[in-house]
């Protein structure tokens, strides 16, 4: 990167481009400088808040000309430190929060085009207003943004039916590291005209280009949905229940989450107002079936599935939601686990992917290895069993300061967990991304060929290192 010119010159140019509302230079900028988990905190030179794609392009050009790097930021709900500035005070945080408009909805084509700063919940609502469904759903949907979802290739609770964010996106608008605008907002489902640039930018964590808008897939809204909690004595039983649910419901199975006893104990401890309809058990499954025929058909399918599971001794008890509020309450239990963890204190998080068949052996073997190395540790195991994604988190022993435990043991615990993940043919990041948190692990555990190809792509698209340096690679 070329030697930087005086920052005042850059800041004055950004002020002229963005106006007083669009550039934050003074006051408390901590909301932009600290990540959601409070693990990473930096200091920004300023926060640029453009309101249009053209302004984003202008910001990038100015920063490139002045040798100043940019940190793109959406809702700042990431879990791997991917959108936090460093401590140098020389980086510009580029917040897309003002770019939150719905540009168009094509009901016949089942597509919705929105700007990158649109909050996920508002995108869901825009689809629902037309009796359509945008199925991406995750705990942070009230604050995370579409741009961030795509930059990290977010997963969520309905991946087993609809796929990750990548599968839900048909086209992108992107500002390159040179400040050029690529308009790839196609609503086409077939476009075989060369390299798939869309897929290159999705999941790149803001290191290759800045996503400013996206054309998303919509689906017909289900006529009925049935939700239940089911008690399992083992993960093997939960996997067998998943197979049974797939056989009975097919593509109608839209949710299959698993939670260990301690994860729900934390929810019970920190959020006692949330009713838990089942008694504590080793593993609780949250499953949901969506139906396009009728509520009666969905209920019959659901009741038949649970009866078969009880008869086959795959579950010992179940609680079926009888209304939409009850269904939401069951999902709220699942979504409250990360919040309960935060109340309990810092923990060592692992967002891992494995083949579903490998998960029981992985959990039993790795739980035992960790318990032997660190007596008294508490395992917070939960996640999307339906697509093989576990949030396999380690809480300090009771009474031991959480921050101290993390600081002293995170590296060694990561080694145990990630060695087991690799041994079972899995991935160290399923949906959270790499950011700062897993950057060294990626280099150590990804093949040298893959890392070389990634570095070549980064060099080709961002030779000055303007976009989110030090993240992912």
pLDDT score, position 1: 46
Output the CA torsion sign for 130, 131, 135, 137.
positive
pLDDT of 4 > 70? The answer is no
Distance CA 446, CA 296 (A): 49
Distance CA 136, CA 158 (A): 7
Specify the fold of 102-220.
Answer: 3.30.465
CB atoms within 10 A of CB 102: 16
pLDDT score, position 78: 84
pLDDT score, position 299: 86
Distance CA 74, CA 147 (A): 6
Of the candidate ranges 293-297, 428-432, 468-472, the one whose mean pLDDT is the lowest: 293-297
CA dihedral 135, 137, 141, 147 (to 10 degrees): -60
pLDDT score, position 392: 96
Contact indicator for 434, 81 with CB cutoff of 8 Å: no
Contact indicator for 267, 337 with CB cutoff of 8 Å: yes
pLDDT of 378 > 90? The answer is yes
pLDDT of 384 > 90? The answer is yes
Residue 439 phi, psi dihedral angles, 5° rounding: -60, -50
pLDDT score, position 204: 95
Tens-place pLDDT, residues 148-160 = 999 999 988 888 8
Distance CA 240, CA 51 (A): 50
Nearest to 38 by CA among 352, 265, 343, 377: 343
pLDDT score, position 51: 97
Tens-place pLDDT, residues 418-464 = 999 999 999 999 888 888 888 888 999 999 999 999 999 999 999 99
Distance CA 201, CA 209 (A): 7
DSSP secondary structure letters along 193-209: SSS-HHHHHTTSTTSSE
As a whole number, the mean pLDDT across the chain is: 93
Distance CA 398, CA 222 (A): 44
pLDDT of 376 > 80? The answer is yes
Distance CA 440, CA 422 (A): 15
Domain coordinates in residue numbering, the chain: 7-95, 102-220, 224-338, 345-445
pLDDT score, position 6: 60
pTM: 0.89
pLDDT, average across residues 383-395: 95
Residues in the chain: 473
Burial (CB count within 10 angstroms: exposed 0-12, middle 13-18, buried 19+), residue 157: buried
Could you tell me whether strands 44-48 and 91-95 are parallel, antiparallel, or unpaired per DSSP bridges? parallel
| Whole-angstrom Cα Rg for the chain | 23
- Residues contacting 388, CB < 8 A, separation 6+: 353, 354, 355, 356, 359, 430
Residue 434 or 382, more confident: 382
- Asked if domains 224-338 and 345-445 share a fold, the reply is yes
Contact indicator for 286, 330 with CB cutoff of 8 Å: yes
Contact indicator for 212, 175 with CB cutoff of 8 Å: yes
pLDDT, average across residues 210-215: 98
Tens-place pLDDT, residues 41-51 = 889 999 999 99
Nearest to 308 by CA among 246, 260, 255, 384: 246
pLDDT of 264 > 70? The answer is yes
Tens-place pLDDT, residues 117-174 = 999 999 999 999 999 999 999 888 988 999 999 999 998 888 889 999 999 999 999 9
Q: How far is CA 444 from the centre of its chain?
A: 23
Distance CA 52, CA 55 (A): 5
Q: 7-95 domain in CATH 3.30.1330.10?
A: no
Q: Categorise residue 19: left if φ over 0, alpha if ψ from -120 to 50, beta otherwise.
A: left
Q: Six-digit token pair at 311?
A: 């008869």
**CATH architecture, range 345-445:** 2-Layer Sandwich (3.30)
pLDDT score, position 5: 47
CATH number given to 224-338: 3.30.70.2190
């Amino acid at each position: 990167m070329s030697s930087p010119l005086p920052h005042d010159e850059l800041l004055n140019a950004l002020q002229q481009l963005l106006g007083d509302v669009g550039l934050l230079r003074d006051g408390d900028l901590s909301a932009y400088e600290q990540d959601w988990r409070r693990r990473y905190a930096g200091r920004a030179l300023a926060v640029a808040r453009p309101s249009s794609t053209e302004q984003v392009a202008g910001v990038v050009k100015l920063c490139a000309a002045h040798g100043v790097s940019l940190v793109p930021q959406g809702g700042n709900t990431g879990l791997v430190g991917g959108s936090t500035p460093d401590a140098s005070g020389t980086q510009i945080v580029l917040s897309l929060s003002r770019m939150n408009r719905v540009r168009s909805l094509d009901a016949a084509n089942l597509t919705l085009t929105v700007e990158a700063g649109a909050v996920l919940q508002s995108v869901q609502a825009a689809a629902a207003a037309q009796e359509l469904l945008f199925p991406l759903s995750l705990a942070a949907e009230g604050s995370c943004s579409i741009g961030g979802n795509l930059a990290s290739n977010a997963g969520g609770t309905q991946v087993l039916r609809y796929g990750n964010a990548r599968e839900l996106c048909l086209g992108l608008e992107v500002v390159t590291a040179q400040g050029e605008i690529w308009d790839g907002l196609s609503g086409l489902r077939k476009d075989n005209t060369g390299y798939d640039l869309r897929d290159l930018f999705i999941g790149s964590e803001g290191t290759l280009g800045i996503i400013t808008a996206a054309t998303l897939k919509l689906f017909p809204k289900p006529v009925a949905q049935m939700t239940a909690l089911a008690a399992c004595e083992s993960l093997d039983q939960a996997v067998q229940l998943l197979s049974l649910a797939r056989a009975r419901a097919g593509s109608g199975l839209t949710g299959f989450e698993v939670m260990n006893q301690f994860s729900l104990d934390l929810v019970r401890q920190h959020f006692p107002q949330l009713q838990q309809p089942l008694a504590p058990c080793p593993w609780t499954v949250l499953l949901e079936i969506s139906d396009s025929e009728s509520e009666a058909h969905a209920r019959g399918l659901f009741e038949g599935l649970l009866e078969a599971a009880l008869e086959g001794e795959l579950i010992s008890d179940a609680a079926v939601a009888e209304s939409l509020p009850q269904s939401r309450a069951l999902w709220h239990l699942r979504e409250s686990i990360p919040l309960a963890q935060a109340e309990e204190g810092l923990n060592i998080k692992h967002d891992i992917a494995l083949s579903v068949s490998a998960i029981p052996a992985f959990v039993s073997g790795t739980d035992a290895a960790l318990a032997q190395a660190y007596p008294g540790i508490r395992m917070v195991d939960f996640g999307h069993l339906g697509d093989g994604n576990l949030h396999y988190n380690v809480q300090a022993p009771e009474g031991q300061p959480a921050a101290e435990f993390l600081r002293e043991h995170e590296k060694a615990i990561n080694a145990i967990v990630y060695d087991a993940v690799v041994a079972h043919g899995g991935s160290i990041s399923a949906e959270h991304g790499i950011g700062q948190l897993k950057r060294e692990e990626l280099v150590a555990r990804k093949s040298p060929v893959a890392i070389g190809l990634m570095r070549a792509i980064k060099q080709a698209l961002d030779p000055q290192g303007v976009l989110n340096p030090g993240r992912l690679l």
